[in-house]
Amino acid sequence: MIPPVYLDYAATTPVDPRVAQVMAQYLTGEGIFGNPSSASHAYGREAAQHLEAARADVAALIGAAPECMVFTSGATEADNLAILGVARGRAGFGRHLVSMRTEHKAVLDACRRLEKEGFELSWVAPSADGLVDPAAVAAALRPDTQLVSIMHANNELGVIQDIPAIAAACRERGVLLHTDAAQSAGRLPMDVAALGADLVSLSAHKLYGPKGVGALYVAARARPWVQPLLLGGGQERGLRPGTVPLHQVAGFAAAARLVRDEGSADAQRCAALAGRLWAQLESLPGLRFNGHPGRCLPGFLSVSVEGVEGESLLAGLGELALSSGSACDSAVAEPSYVLRAIGLSAGLAQATLRISLGRFSTEADVDLAAAAIRREVVRLRAVAP
């Protein structure tokens, strides 16, 4: 059986074999298996030393100081820690937050939880290309605003928000800024100083590291205001108790080092592949590019197809592994709330393909994908009344 061509790197990436090799050194008795908190013996102290080395590598991914990095179970937990932690930590100063409807559910659901706790949310609307106007964010700030959460790059559209401009507006008003950078870290060079965000969520499995580990960057000025979500130990400077999974963290660090060494070349190649794919698709009538072509993650392509039924389109593309514009967490697929928020009809949202290329994508993959999409669109349109 020929495996489907993997075009869903935005959902997850395979662990790079070099990363897996590193992780294997942190599991058995022959390796570094100690509990980093066991300072009473050499196994633990050795593990602690490796933990801090890994922390430094992950911090370097975004130009941060190692002591600002808190390891979590992934970006979802990092988002929760940032939003719930800051909102609750600063509740005495105000109970207002600002975010966007196109955020990841880890942000949306955390915000909804806060609304139930009596916080107020202002939702800033994106434009048709998915970008938010920093002036609109600034206009939504109030004297009681404590936190703004705007993702760096959208997970469905790939659009890259102007975080530095938003950060400047927040800083001027003394408001903390959180950004979910799960999609962008690894695809874009990042520097927290230039970005200006106070809290940044990261995920290992989006950059060829393992699932189950992520990190939250917490700037020094934000640190006093973050309340932990879990209780039970002092690990991660009190912000994330629990034994740190060193094999996961070491994998994250190895993946981060590969990004440092190869990320730029990966990004260039992915951008070229996405361009090659688009060049083969754009002549199809009724095709809509979603997002902003000038502010898009490399290797990312969201296209909506008029005149075809979304589920049929996806079912006809069995040789491709990609995402659609539907959330299939119910019996009947619901159109993506992100695509609906930028103005797509329910039908067009469902007839949307998100193609995300990565380190192991090839020109042959892209050519096969283009041919399959063209074939299926033509076939289904010919069937339609």
Partner 1 sequence: MRAPRDPAPPLPPPLDALFRALAHAGRPVALPAAAAEPAAACWVQGEAGRRRDGAQIRFHLLVGGDGQILQVRFEAFAGPQLLAVIEGLSGQLEGRNLRDGLPGSPQDWLDGFQLPAERLGPLLVVEDALCVAVGQALRVLGLQGVAPA
Q: Which residues are catalytic?
A: 328
Q: Which residue has the tokens 């590969």?
A: 258
Does position 279 interact with partner 1 (CB under 8 A)? The reply is no
Does position 355 interact with partner 1 (CB under 8 A)? The reply is no
Interface residue with partner 1, options 315, 327, 371, 378 (CB under 8 A): 315
As a whole number of Å, the end-to-end CA separation of the chain is 35
Q: Which stretch binds partner 1 (CB under 8 A): 74-82, 263-271, 291-299, 315-323?
A: 315-323
Q: Which residue has the tokens 């790197």?
A: 9
Q: Following DSSP, what letter does each residue of 163-207 receive, concatenated? A: HHHHHHHHHHTT-EEEEE-TTTBTTB---HHHH--SEEEEESTTT
Phi, psi of 323 (to 5 degrees): -105, 150
Rounded alpha-carbon distances, angstroms, from residue 170 to 2, 124, 127, 313, 315? 51, 14, 20, 43, 45
**Binders in 194-253 for partner 1, by CB under 8 A:** none
Does position 6 interact with partner 1 (CB under 8 A)? The reply is yes
Tell the smallest beta-carbon distance from residue 14 to partner 1 (Å).
7
For residues 193 and 382, give the distance between their C-alpha atoms in angstroms, rounded to a whole number. Answer: 53
Question: Please, which residues have CB within 8 angstroms of residue 21's CB and are 6 or more apart in sequence?
Answer: none
Interface residue with partner 1, options 200, 246, 255, 314 (CB under 8 A): 314
Q: Which stretch binds partner 1 (CB under 8 A): 72-80, 173-181, 247-255, 375-383?
A: 375-383
Whether the CB-CB separation of 207 and 227 falls below 8 Å is answered with no
Does position 125 interact with partner 1 (CB under 8 A)? The reply is no
Does position 285 interact with partner 1 (CB under 8 A)? The reply is no
Q: Which stretch binds partner 1 (CB under 8 A): 172-180, 189-197, 222-230, 306-314?
A: 306-314
Tell the smallest beta-carbon distance from residue 308 to partner 1 (Å).
8
Choice between 177 and 339, CB closer to partner 1 = 339
For residues 347 and 349, give the distance between their C-alpha atoms in angstroms, rounded to a whole number. Answer: 5
Does position 63 interact with partner 1 (CB under 8 A)? The reply is no
Does position 130 interact with partner 1 (CB under 8 A)? The reply is no
Which residues of the chain form contacts with partner 1 (CB under 8 A)?
1-4, 6, 14, 308-309, 311-312, 314-316, 318, 331-332, 345, 347, 360, 379, 382-385
